[in-house]
Structures are given as C-alpha cells and as structure tokens.
Amino acid sequence: MRRFSQRNQLVTLNDINITPLLDLAFVLLIIFVITTPVLTEQRSLQLSLPTGGAASSPVRKDEVRTIEVSMQGGYVLKGKTYSLETLQGVLAQEFKADPNLAIWVRADKAGKYEDVFNLLELCRKLNIKKIDFAAVPQKKK
C-alpha cells in the first residue's frame, strides 16, 4: 500500500491549464474590439485642420455624416471618393432617409476654398441645414 501512495506523489503534471490563457485572449479581443472604431474614426484622409471652433457638437452621432474634401477636389464619404455630382445623389438619398441629417466637413486648411464652397452650395440645394466644420480646438492661454 505504501508504494501506491508514494507513486501518486511523484506523478508529474502532464496537462497545462489553459483557462488563464483563454481569459487573456478574451480580454485582448475585447480591448481590440473597443479601440478599433476609436482609432479609425472616419478619418480616411490625412488633413491639416484649421484651428478654432467649439470642441463638441449637440447633434447625435448617428445623424452625422463626415465628408472630407481632398486637396485634389474629391469628396470622401464613408471611405469612398465621390465627385460633386455623384455626392449629390448619395446625400439626397441619405437626407430622404433621415431628415435630421447633419454634415461634418473636414477640409485641409491649405485646400481650395472653391471645393468647400461647392459642398456648402450642394447642401443648401438639398436643404440640409445642419453643417459644421472640423477644426483643431484652440489652446487655452
């Protein structure tokens, strides 16, 4: 009998407990799922924004469509580049689906004013009244 009890004490651990590894994997997965949308927050163009304006807007995020004006005169909405004519059709459909639609314009401070003006005229033509511009908030002195 004594031999049997000594043999149990000498048995080595053959299994690895994977529960802590799974816990770590799930925590990392949750972190990546949460941070990915924040990192890719509708910024498909590398723009140098002007300084000034308010830091936040009272409009709900699901009502806002971000339109980026590229230096070459293209308009980017939801990661796709449009000309002014095709953007008009897309915005007309969006505004018909949601009359509370708000437009957030991101344009480079060194870009052409004409492209931004054409976008504003398009929004006026479609009767979209909620328009705001992206800017870097001013530093407090």
Higher-confidence position of 62 and 104:
104
Q: Are 61 and 132 contacting, i.e. CB atoms less than 8 angstroms apart? A: no
Q: Which of 141 and 83 is assigned the larger pLDDT?
A: 83
At 101, is the pLDDT very low, low, confident or very high (cuts 50, 70, 90)? confident
Strand 64-69 versus strand 130-133 pairing type: unpaired
- The pLDDT score that the predictor gives to residue 26 is 93
What pLDDT sits at residue 28? 92
- How far apart CA 138 and CA 53 sit, in angstroms, is 7
Structure tokens at 123: 């929004």
> What pLDDT digit, counting tens, does each position of 37-80 carry?
666 555 565 656 556 555 555 656 667 888 888 888 788 888 88
Report whether pLDDT(108) > 90.
no
Place of tokens 């308009």: 75
> Topology of domain 61-133, per CATH?
Nucleotidyltransferase; domain 5 (3.30.420)
**Where exactly are the structural domains of the chain?**
2-39, 61-133
**Residue range 84-97, pLDDT digits in tens:** 888 888 888 888 88
Kind and range of the H or E run holding 133? strand 130-133
